[in-house]
Amino acid sequence: MEIHDAVEKLKFLIIEINLPITEMAIFGITCPYCGKSDRIRRLEPPEDLADAIDPTQLNQYTELWRRLNPSGAQLGVCKFCCNPLALATRHGRARELDRL
């Protein structure tokens, strides 16, 4: 699976499940796609969603999380444009997952 395809599948899954479940904004980080800085949310790691979503969706989410996040860093999503992001909160940045 190409990286771009995996990002698109994760984006669809985020919209379908309405992730993240915890709605807490991260301020000061700008979305590289749309430029919004008040809509970035952290995505929960798969192990935190075990009891919250359907097992089939959890398996898909886990596979995509591992594929797009091999280092175990933090993933996020812009709730304005719905694009998944790689977060570097210490540095106040978000990057496109298919350009890492």
Lowest mean pLDDT across 35-39, 54-58, 74-78, 95-99: 95-99
The CA R_g of the chain, rounded to the nearest whole Å, is 12
**CA dist., res. 28 & res. 72, Å (int):** 22
Domains in the chain, number = 1
> How many other C-beta atoms are found inside a 10 Å radius of the C-beta of residue 18?
10
What is the pLDDT of the chain when averaged over all its residues?
A: 91
Confidence of residue 27 (pLDDT cuts 50, 70, 90): confident
pLDDT, one tens digit per residue, over 32-56 is 999 999 999 999 999 999 999 999 9
Instruction: Evaluate if residue 96 carries a pLDDT over 70.
Output: yes
Its domain, for residue 35, covers 3-99
Q: Is the per-residue pLDDT at 100 higher than 60?
A: no
73: pLDDT confidence band, cut at 50, 70 and 90? confident
Within 10 angstroms of residue 13's Cβ, the number of other Cβ atoms is 17
More confident residue, 88 or 32: 32
77-96 burial: b if 16+ Cβ within 10 Å, else e: bbbeeebbbbbeeeeeebeb
